[in-house]
Amino acid sequence: MSTREVRPTDQAPEGATHPNAKPVLSFTARRRGKAPRHLVDLDLAERKEAVAAVGIPAFRADQLSRHYFEHMLGDTAQMTDLPASLRPKLGEELFPKLLTEITAQHADKGQTIKTLWELFDGARVESVLMRYPHRTTLCLSSQAGCGMACPFCATGQMGLTRNLSTGEMVEQVRVARLACARGDIGDGPTHLTNVVFMGMGEPLANWRHLVGTLHRLVRDVPEGFGMSARNITVSTVGLVPAIDKLSGLGIPVTLAVSLHAPDDDLRDDLIPINSRWKVGELLDAARRYFMATGRRVSIEYALIRDMNDQPWRAQLLADELNKRGRTWAHVNPIPLNPTPGSIWTASTQSAQDEFVDTLRRAGISTTIRDTRGSDIDGACGQLATAVEKVSSSRKKRPVPVHIERRSENE
């Protein structure tokens, strides 16, 4: 077995534009533009006020909400039980277009669709819709870009453009639900069962709009989609104070901690936020989340060849989890999408197997993450980066195109 150990500092960050680039942690957005107000930015009482403010009876707010959350309609022209004279005004006031599709990639025999969206100000984000035998999951973005600067993440090297509004996040869910209902993914219609905040951005760094989005997801029609909190996952690289706030929110979603290293020596370089909150502090906060909600925490661990996949690190991870109690955490080792010629590449199968076996022998519940999109720009930020490179080389905006690419191994 290889004894070579590579470090995050051995190579420029993934997607860096020059060889001496260094990760730069940032919470400051480059843009301050605010997305247009949308119906779902408002709670039900605020929707009634907004409707009444334009001279339309307040009861129409309930009607509009049911069209959106129950029938997945985002255009008042399609709401045919509304008086035709009211539709343009309501559309202008409460249904601005928040997402415009730039391109979509299909993979896994049509079971995965990754979409690049353009927002009102030209910022771009990605979402991924994935169909499995017993569930269909949307991975959505919470920010345009990301300020966490993790060197193996293409999004992290974009920097933070801005936070997404509640409306922009909820719209990703609505269009995914509509795609499922139409049968756009896989074989025939399905139902969106799960939502994971694991796309572009650090969700807990966009706290106010994250909370608004969670309320819209879990509250019943007409206030929201009526999803189960158990089927919603919020990820974080380790914003400890925000984890504690999430504990007290009263919406028991699954917390996913993007750990990727059990020791501060490596994690300081691999996850820059570790300079503020160390591994021990993060795992303590994750344990508090479990105690407050009863929801088992997912520990996300991207296996990177010769960097963090050593058996001793698996044992250290197991020890750190076990000393805080048993059965409170579940580890998800994630095979990294391979990047040829880079240090940011997937572990060997033998290293992956030994890592998993070490955890399981220590009594840690462990499941290898089912990766999707390895035959397309599957990792977060890769599609946006690829399209931007094409755009720059052509000196003009890309023509929207649908790309169908299927895995030969499926």
Q: Please tell me the predicted confidence (pLDDT) of residue 390.
A: 42
Whether residue 17 has pLDDT greater than 80: no
The predicted structure's pLDDT at residue 298: 98
What is the Cβ-side half-sphere exposure of residue 304, based on CA atoms within 13 angstroms?
23
pLDDT at 389: 46
Pick from 406, 404, 378: nearest CA to 105:
404
- Binding-site residue set: 146, 150, 153, 201-202, 235, 258-260, 337
Q: How confident is the model over 358-406, as pLDDT tens digits?
A: 999 999 999 998 766 555 554 554 445 544 544 444 433 332 322 222 2
Residues 6+ apart with CB under 8 A from 384: 116, 124, 125, 126, 154, 155, 158, 200
pTM for this prediction: 0.90
Output the pLDDT for position 369.
82
Q: Which residues are annotated as a binding site for S-adenosyl-L-methionine?
A: 201-202, 235, 258-260, 337
- Asked about 126 being catalytic, the answer comes back as yes
Average pLDDT over residues 146-174: 93
Q: Which amino acid is at 389?
A: K
pLDDT band for position 276 (50/70/90)? Answer: very high
Query: With bands split at pLDDT 50, 70 and 90, how would you rate the model's confidence at 156?
Result: confident
Residue list, annotated binding site for [4Fe-4S] cluster = 146, 150, 153
Q: Is the peptide bond before 222 cis (omega within 30 degrees of 0)?
A: yes
Tell me the sheet residues that pair with 299: 257, 331
Question: Which pLDDT value is given to residue 406?
Answer: 29
Identify the pLDDT of residue 391.
47
Beta bridge partners of 104: 115, 402
Residue among 202, 184, 58 at smallest CA distance from 113? 184
The pLDDT of residue 3 is 65
- The answer to which of 27-41, 213-227, 246-260 has the lowest mean pLDDT is 27-41
Q: Residue 58: which residues within 8 A CB-CB, separation 6 or more? A: 48, 49, 51, 52
Looking at every residue in the chain, the average pLDDT score rounds to: 89
For the question of residue 180 being annotated catalytic, the response is no
Mean pLDDT of 122-140: 96
Average pLDDT over residues 351-364: 98
pLDDT digits (tens, 9 = 90+) for 101-121: 999 999 999 999 999 999 999
Active-site annotation holder among 126, 168, 171, 320: 126
